[in-house]
Structure 1
Amino acid sequence: MSSPATSSDREKVVSKLPGWLRQNLKIRAAQRGIEIQAAVEQGIRDWCGLASTTTSVDTSGADSFSTFLPPGQWDDFRQVVADRRISLIQGLAQSVQLWLDTHPAPDVERPEITRRIIVCNQKGGVGKTAITAGLGEALAEDPNTLHSVQIAKALTKALRASEAGQDDQVTGDPLDIENLPGLGLRVLLVDFDPQCHLTNQLGASPLPMNGDSLTNHMAGDPKGDLRDLVVSIDDAAFGGRLHLLPACNDAFLLDVRLSAVRAREAALERALAPLEADYDVILVDCPPSLGLSMDAASYYGRRREGEKPGQSGALIVVQAEDSSADAYELLTTQIEDLRGDLQIDVDYLGIVVNLYDSRRGYIATSSLQGWVDIKDPRVVGLIGDLKEQKEAVRMKQPLLSYAPRSQQAIGMRALAREIA
């Protein structure tokens, strides 16, 4: 039942565990940030220290399970199991269950101040909507389920490969992927674009022109409670934590209506303030505009009193081509002007290079290098131009539930952790 391991201070042991218990152990160890072998070691030690056996565990369907334990622990454990007259499999199952019972899943870490992330670039077609949706989905995923995540060093590796002109198409080497629990945050996606792309992509209906809308609330002419307009993205992966405030075509008139509003830069904040207590993160999908609506979005994302730097602010989505660079300059100039005029802090959360394909040659790779060279804000995400996102849009489904193991989904989860 045991054989020497390559490690000098541990030995490999082989037994059996039911699949459900093995999966619970795997998830809980990841949630607690420890190795499975350390959890099993502690569970066995604590179980052997009990005066008697614990409640019997259903071990039907148990199959092979191996781990590494300190030398001698497995032999001592076998003796205790024999003394208590139960099977070795039952003793191991009770030990693992004891560790699970005494090490509950940690609570989701929630921000003291609701985070407000404005996803922006005045250039259309760069994929702001896809990034808004994917990031929101990644932030809301089930914390009691493991999801494939591209680890930080993989992003660095991909950036370096692209800089060198290599075709490392964010391929996701298995060694660069970790299975981690979802972040489990309560997320509101705000479709602030009159084109309603976010609303349509997630399978919701745009709000009717003759009804209530975010535009009405910002213009000081509400027709009801804004909460009544919010819809849930009903998917098991998000457990009721992901919501959407749909757009309305009346947002095409927003700048005109805001021109008659006092303190118009605070209009979005006034409208969304009643909803903030219900969410950990609010993501605003901004229109491709440099008008008053963008001022209102930038002001909403400003750093509030008592808020740590980098919690809220602007996430800028670009592509690896020249026109994105021109648009970036216009956007940052507007944000800097607003900072100076109103004496506020608007943090840059980073740059996401979206729809990247190194096979497009020098233009793509050299443009990516240009984004990397900026340094502040730094590149926090590199998302490939792959088919799964387009398919999810066509199917009107969230990317992370339609193709949860796709490279784009893995990259979205990495982005969520980069800015978390």
Structure 2
Amino acid sequence: MTAPYNPSDREKVVAKLPAELRKELKVRAAELGRDIQDAVTEGVEAWRKAKDRQVVDTAGGTSFATYLPAGLYDKLKQDCKARSISYNQGIAQSIRLWLDSNPSPRPRPARVTGARRIIFGNQKGGVGKTSVSAGVAQALAESGHRTLLIDFDPQGHLTKQLGYPMFDIDEASLAKHMLKEAKGELSELLVPIKGGDFEEHLWLLPACKDAFLLDAKLATTKAVRIKETALEKALEPLEQEFDYIIVDCPPSLGYSMDTALYYCRTREGEAPNTSGIVVPVLAEDSSADAYDMLYDQIQDLVEDMGVDIALLGFVVNMYDSRKGFVATSSLDEWHNIGEPPVLAVVPELKDQREAVRVKKPLLVHAPYGDQADVMRTVARRISA
């Protein structure tokens, strides 16, 4: 089983930190493209050499977990005892020292194209498009990015898993806005997702119960190119309000997928790989067959429309090497493709299933688990 750390070299540590310090650490690590565990390690090592560190207010602290190199945890505790401070204060001072030593980079120039648009798609169902898109959106929001997560699958699994109701057939919805059948503004349908360190940075556009009719209606429309542009035209009013728009696509090769693919194309003036598609897969043959079909659909659209659609990478989901040769050899094949790259491997663990069961976001239910860390890795790689 793959994990984002080597258990023989690192050990898990837990401390209680104030929410603002946790958030600042996660945002700064994301800005600098660093793993949180590496940032904390650097901070602890620097703190052990420093003298007269300023006291950090840790009142109201809540649980924070990370991994330190084996042996460093004990040395930290010994130093805290020698300095007559609590272990929580030692960790807080170490993080504060790292933050002070690693200032935020200068803001990037404003994007002329609005939000970065990342879709998660695969023709095969059951590969984890919903869990991966949701986890990555949470990680982006946790890093300080205003993020919109869209349930574009008629089955509405994303909406249900997060504990929100789908829109009824007679209500306004994304599908109705795409077909110009809705009144009001699309922004009125957005729901803030609460909890965790991403609160006030993450919103959901829920699915609707009539979305299964979208493909048929797009197929029969007589308007030129509305099949490809419908999603973009509906979402355009929202793009300047967000840094990222994440779309959980249906397991389909129909017109809905065409309009999602067109939406994530590289626009004029947009840097390469700023927007594009992430493909969640499993380490088995059927995922490879499904990807071949999706790839053909992408190439057909590229040739037909004269656009560029960036394949940002694969996320190999629910991986467990104990499944034997089929899993390990399939993982090797995904890596051997080279381009697009494998962005991350999500281990087969209970965290995501439990989060779905209790209808909570993964980064709220198990914020310091291996799966949550992998979601942060994917977010960091696609936002680089």
The match for 1:176 is none
The match for 2:205 is 245
The match for 2:270 is 307
CA distance in 2, matches of 1:290, 1:123: 10
Q: What are the residue-to-residue correspondences of 1:293-332 with 2, within 5 Å?
A: 293-332=256-295
TM-score between both structures, scaled by the size of structure 2: 0.75
CA RMSD of aligned residues (A): 3.5
Cα separation, partners in 2 of 1:248 and 1:374, compared to 1, 3 Å: same
The match for 2:317 is 354
The answer to whether the Cα contact below 8 Å between 1:116 and 1:313 also exists between their aligned partners in 2 is: yes
Q: Could you tell me which of 291, 297, 302 is aligned with 1:334?
A: 297
Pick the structure with greater CA Rg.
Answer: 1
CA distance in 1, matches of 2:264, 2:199: 26
Cα separation, partners in 2 of 1:308 and 1:42, compared to 1, 3 Å: farther
Following superposition, the deviation at residue 401 of structure 1 comes to: 1.1
The match for 1:218 is 178
Following superposition, the deviation at residue 389 of structure 1 comes to: 0.3
Superposed CA offset, 1:285-343 (max 9, x none): 00001011111000000001111111101101110111111100000000000000000
TM-score between both structures, scaled by the size of structure 1: 0.69
AA partner of residue 241 (structure 1)? H
The answer to whether the Cα contact below 8 Å between 2:46 and 2:97 also exists between their aligned partners in 1 is: no
CA distance in 2, matches of 1:208, 1:297: 22
Matched, 1:283 2:246: yes
**SS of 1:190's equivalent?**
strand
The answer to whether the Cα contact below 8 Å between 2:168 and 2:208 also exists between their aligned partners in 1 is: yes
CA distance in 1, matches of 2:342, 2:99: 39
The match for 1:138 is 139
Number of aligned residue pairs: give it. 322
Q: Could you tell me which of 398, 403, 413 is aligned with 2:366?
A: 403
The match for 1:8 is none
Matched, 1:117 2:118: yes
Alignment identity in percent?
49
Q: Could you tell me which of 160, 165, 174 is aligned with 1:200?
A: 160
Following superposition, the deviation at residue 236 of structure 1 comes to: 3.8
Matched, 1:126 2:88: no
Superposed CA offset, 1:239-267 (max 9, x none): 31010000012110001111214322000
**SS of 1:249's equivalent?**
coil
AA partner of residue 136 (structure 1)? A
Following superposition, the deviation at residue 97 of structure 1 comes to: 9.2
Superposed CA offset, 1:223-243 (max 9, x none): 221101000001141131010
AA partner of residue 133 (structure 1)? A
CA distance in 2, matches of 1:320, 1:397: 27
CA distance in 1, matches of 2:163, 2:107: 28
AA partner of residue 372 (structure 1)? H
AA partner of residue 391 (structure 1)? E
Cα separation, partners in 2 of 1:40 and 1:355, compared to 1, 3 Å: closer
The answer to whether the Cα contact below 8 Å between 2:196 and 2:363 also exists between their aligned partners in 1 is: no
Superposed CA offset, 1:326-379 (max 9, x none): 100000000000000000000000011111111111111111111111111111
CA distance in 1, matches of 2:181, 2:272: 34
Structure 1, unaligned runs of 5 or more: 1-18, 48-55, 68-93, 142-182
Q: What are the residue-to-residue correspondences of 1:4-403 with 2, within 5 Å?
A: 27=25, 35-36=42-43, 112=111, 113=113, 114-141=115-142, 183-259=143-219, 260=221, 261-264=223-226, 265-403=228-366
Following superposition, the deviation at residue 29 of structure 1 comes to: 8.6
CA distance in 2, matches of 1:389, 1:58: 34
Following superposition, the deviation at residue 416 of structure 1 comes to: 1.0
**SS of 2:124's equivalent?**
coil
